[in-house]
Chain A
Amino acid sequence: MSDDINALIRREYAAGFVTNIEAETLPPGLSEEVIAVISAKKREPEWMLEWRLEAYRKWREMQVPQWAHVKHPPVDFEAISYYSSPKSKDDAPKSLDEVDPEILDTFEKLGIPLHERAKLAGVAVDAVFDSVSIGTTFKEDLAKAGVIFCSISEAIRDYPELVKKYLGSVVPQNDNFYAALNSAVFSDGSFVYIPKNTRCPMELSTYFRINELNTGQFERTLIIADEGSQVSYLEGCTAPMRDENQLHAAVVELVALGNADIKYSTVQNWYPGDEDGKGGIYNFVTKRGVCDGPNAKISWTQVETGSAITWKYPSVVLRGDNSIGEFYSVALTNGYQQADTGTKMIHLGRNTKSTIISKGISAGHSSNAYRGLVRISPRAQGARNYTQCDSLLIGERCGAHTFPYIENKNPDAILEHEATTSKVSDDQLFLCRQRGIDEEKAVSMIVNGFCKEVFKELPMEFAVEAGKLLEVSLEGAVG
């Protein structure tokens, strides 16, 4: 990627805040005062500030985790500004003509609708397209169904009982170093509540909350599906996103009560750093869901192609009897990217089932690791797990690793784990080339086939884009 893009991506993000706080940036560093200021700026109630401070005190006692298979210089947590105010639009591109042609080219390849491109490229035009009307119809439909879908800051003010009950119930404040940091300083994020026996009338997406897109580096998402409800939630998008923050530490909590069903899909394509591995986003995310009642189901699907470093383990705690956890993942690394990603399936209830399908693709100088845990507790009679981790290596300088932890304390459980690593098969390549398909196209076809099991779990429009995204991300990796 050229320096231009680099510069462009590093330029300040211009989507604008919805809050009407005066523009201001706190000096770098973290202290109880800083947290108090953040909380005050967000007009949070007293209990929320207390909760944040408690998290901060726990965080101070914690060590940076070293176990992941990634290398990076230590992050200086005192050098980060923990409150980034609304950004000025002055230095953003004024129209699509000013945007780097390479980015526009990428949009073209991904098939992103014209009217969305400007928004994604960070063009500082107020009404890029009629987001108001989309937002309005959207909100009416949801309100009719009784679904709450708002920013977490609004939820803290408007639905304190729900937030108090569930915030931190899945990922406690001191769960891990980055979760504790997030709990102390989280900026914003989404809040979803689906009432009992309700099927959410549409797929929820952060994309629709277009005015609240810039949730900053410490995003916090909380989704609660009450008994018998169903929801599908989409996070991120396939287009390259501009982002000025190097460290991202998000927390996502899912609560599925009895018979509820949550499907959470992510496509992540953040800036991976330049060709020499300089820069790029550090994505240290804690995602966890709990099936807190019988027959609940949580399904994670992720396509990870961006970020310099990904450190992410969407997990499911299967507490309710007969509950189901699923994890479908495609992680692609190219250049100098490093990914350490996988899942945890904690089987507590009887007859709980989990499926893990993980596809890792490494190219260039990258390193791609699957790290998973399947734990069967003594109570989990009849538990069942199936795990399949396949890795594909493209080029001789990359690495692919598999670290599955399997802990079983129940003789009635059946667990299977399989992993394979190989390169793109010469036979398959030959077959494609013989039929006149050039090598790059052939590799991308084979990679797409390799990921098919995961793509079919994605919502339809995402699946199409995801396939193209892999193609774009793999450019230059072959030959």
Chain B
Amino acid sequence: MMTPNELKQLAQEAVLQQPSLDWLKLPPQARETFAGLEIPSRKTETWKYSPLTPLLQQDYLSRAADVPAVDHQARKLLAELPAGHRLVFVNGRLQSSLSDFADLENQGIVTRFSEASDTQRQLINQHLGNAFPAREHVFAALNYSAVADGVLIHLPQDYQVQQPLQLVFLSSPTEQPGYGQSRVLLQAEAGAGLHLIEQYASLGVSDLFHNHVMEINLQDNARLIHERLQVEQENLIHINGLHINLGAGSHYEQHALAFGSALKRNDINLNFKGGNAYSRLNGVFLSKHRQHIDNHINLEHGVPHCNSDTLYKGFITGHSRAVFNGRIHIHPHAQKTAAHLNNRNLLLSQQAELDTKPELEIYADDVKCSHGASIGKLDESALFYFQSRGIDRAAAEAMLCLGFVNEMVAQFPTESVRTLGRARLMEFFNDVEQLKDLWSLE
């Protein structure tokens, strides 16, 4: 196993040596930022419960993961998705042959960084890296320091994209462990609207370290509906940063379903930059076997009159470990904020662990903020109710578990995404051996 320092050295010798786009003006010290950061350890507050062990066990950073020919398999998987504009990435790299966004490309709405026009380059230079402090996100800083390519989604003023836009990230088997870094910048000008479907899936077992960063800038009154499915296979290491700036009157709504993997980390960072903005974050995370999933949500209420509602549910079983951290930060003068965050968890196994930490940090007095967290087992009276009606205990337990999770999945706005999410959920639950273990532990 590597030490964190060896990992850092490797990152500097391999990943950071990859050429960046020459016109890209990284903010001063972008590379130095990574060099100056510590690889997180147990003592790093934001990584306290998520050891990087899986990342240290193999050499993921020496080479970028190769992209084998997977068209046939991929098409089968893509067929399950609703029709529409689609960007497909394999092991972190955008694959034109699988994608379908020619229309949007012609209109200048979707562009690869490498093919950006002068004005688009200017836009990228202006906005890339604005939505998060690189100092606090070491893997985003790593991603940032070597931008070989990326995707710019630029919605002009008042432009409404009619069909949902899909971002599909596939991981495929590779010969050797490797990394894939992907990057998306979404710039929605005032009054623009978009429905985004983001899906992460696997075409087989692979040793991939996927380091993804997406930045979203919603200008005044822009709207974004964001559906996210992270249903990859469990061998993968996936570190995901989603960083959003919310302009005045903007609206952001997220629905997420995520399964654990060897190490999965989701950072969501929301910055309220203009009044009357609203965000709703709905999410559900599940982990089993020896999976690990870590959710870090940070809501920066920097201006007055903004509202946020956050509800995350967790389902934890097997030998797995799940982490939730939700922070509401009300800056001085951000008066009239109403921010509510809730985390509810079902812990079902003697060997599993859940660590949750909802945080409030408040510097303004005229606000209404609350958070809640609960951890529990299945409700005995509900189980009794089922049994008194002739449904055996195992079936009753399965139904209650499904109901707990499905409550969140049912809120996905797109029917086909709901259906897909439920199908993946059933696969997760149908892992019969595991469920048997679970029930017998009573």
The answer to whether B377 touches A414, judged by C-beta atoms less than 8 angstroms apart, is yes
- A410 contacts partner chain B, Cβ-Cβ < 8 Å: yes
The answer to whether B347 touches A419, judged by C-beta atoms less than 8 angstroms apart, is no
Indicate whether A421 sits within 8 Å of B359 (C-beta atoms), given known contacts A396-B333, A411-B347: no
Instruction: With both chains docked as a complex, state the minimum distance between the C-beta of B300 and any C-beta of chain A, in angstroms.
Output: 14
Hey, what's the 0/1 contact readout for B361-390 against A, CB within 8 Å counting as 1? 111111111111111110000000000000
Chain A contact patch, size range: 20 to 34
The answer to whether B370 touches A419, judged by C-beta atoms less than 8 angstroms apart, is yes
The answer to whether A412 touches B367, judged by C-beta atoms less than 8 angstroms apart, is no
Q: Which of A369-428 contact B (CB under 8 A)?
A: 378, 391, 393-423
Instruction: With both chains docked as a complex, state the minimum distance between the C-beta of A466 and any C-beta of chain B, in angstroms.
Output: 24
The answer to whether B365 touches A395, judged by C-beta atoms less than 8 angstroms apart, is yes
Q: Which of B327-368 contact A (CB under 8 A)?
A: 332-333, 335, 347-368
Hey, what's the 0/1 contact readout for B191-226 against A, CB within 8 Å counting as 1? 000000000000000000000000000000000000
The answer to whether A419 touches B371, judged by C-beta atoms less than 8 angstroms apart, is yes
- B45 contacts partner chain A, Cβ-Cβ < 8 Å: yes
The answer to whether A409 touches B372, judged by C-beta atoms less than 8 angstroms apart, is no
The answer to whether A401 touches B373, judged by C-beta atoms less than 8 angstroms apart, is no
The residues of B that contact A400 with a CB separation of less than 8 Å are 360, 362
Instruction: With both chains docked as a complex, state the minimum distance between the C-beta of B326 and any C-beta of chain A, in angstroms.
Output: 11
The residues of B that contact A412 with a CB separation of less than 8 Å are 377
The answer to whether A421 touches B360, judged by C-beta atoms less than 8 angstroms apart, is yes
- A412 to B335 Cα, complex, angstroms: 41
The answer to whether A414 touches B358, judged by C-beta atoms less than 8 angstroms apart, is no
CB closest chain-B residue, reference A414: B376
The answer to whether B359 touches A403, judged by C-beta atoms less than 8 angstroms apart, is yes
Q: Can you list 29 contacts pairing A with B, beta carbon distance less than 8 Å? A: A67-B45, A378-B351, A393-B365, A396-B333, A396-B335, A396-B364, A399-B362, A400-B360, A401-B360, A402-B358, A403-B357, A405-B355, A405-B357, A408-B375, A409-B352, A410-B347, A411-B348, A414-B376, A415-B376, A417-B374, A419-B360, A419-B371, A420-B369, A421-B360, A421-B362, A421-B368, A421-B369, A421-B370, A422-B367
Question: Residue B369 contacts which of A396, A407, A415, A422 (CB distance < 8 angstroms)?
Answer: A422
The number of chain B residues with a CB under 8 A from chain A is 37
CB closest chain-B residue, reference A381: B350
The residues of A that contact B441 with a CB separation of less than 8 Å are 411
In terms of DSSP, what is the predominant structure of the interface of chain A? strand
- A421 to B340 Cα, complex, angstroms: 10
The answer to whether B353 touches A409, judged by C-beta atoms less than 8 angstroms apart, is yes
The answer to whether A417 touches B355, judged by C-beta atoms less than 8 angstroms apart, is no
Closest 6 CB pairs of A and B: A393-B365, A402-B360, A420-B370, A417-B373, A415-B375, A421-B369
- A68 to B364 Cα, complex, angstroms: 20
The answer to whether B347 touches A408, judged by C-beta atoms less than 8 angstroms apart, is yes
Instruction: With both chains docked as a complex, state the minimum distance between the C-beta of A355 and any C-beta of chain B, in angstroms.
Output: 15
Question: Residue B372 contacts which of A395, A413, A419 (CB distance < 8 angstroms)?
Answer: A419
Hey, what's the 0/1 contact readout for B34-66 against A, CB within 8 Å counting as 1? 000000000001000100000000000000000
Instruction: With both chains docked as a complex, state the minimum distance between the C-beta of A378 and any C-beta of chain B, in angstroms.
Output: 6
Indicate whether A401 sits within 8 Å of B359 (C-beta atoms), given known contacts A395-B365, A419-B370, A419-B371: yes
The answer to whether B373 touches A406, judged by C-beta atoms less than 8 angstroms apart, is yes
- A296 to B376 Cα, complex, angstroms: 25
The answer to whether A399 touches B361, judged by C-beta atoms less than 8 angstroms apart, is yes
Known: A396-B335, A406-B375, A423-B367. 15 other contacts (CB 8 A): A396-B333, A396-B365, A401-B361, A406-B356, A406-B373, A408-B347, A408-B355, A411-B347, A411-B349, A413-B347, A415-B373, A417-B373, A419-B371, A422-B367, A422-B368
CB closest chain-B residue, reference A400: B362
The residues of A that contact B355 with a CB separation of less than 8 Å are 405-408
The residues of B that contact A421 with a CB separation of less than 8 Å are 360, 362, 367-370
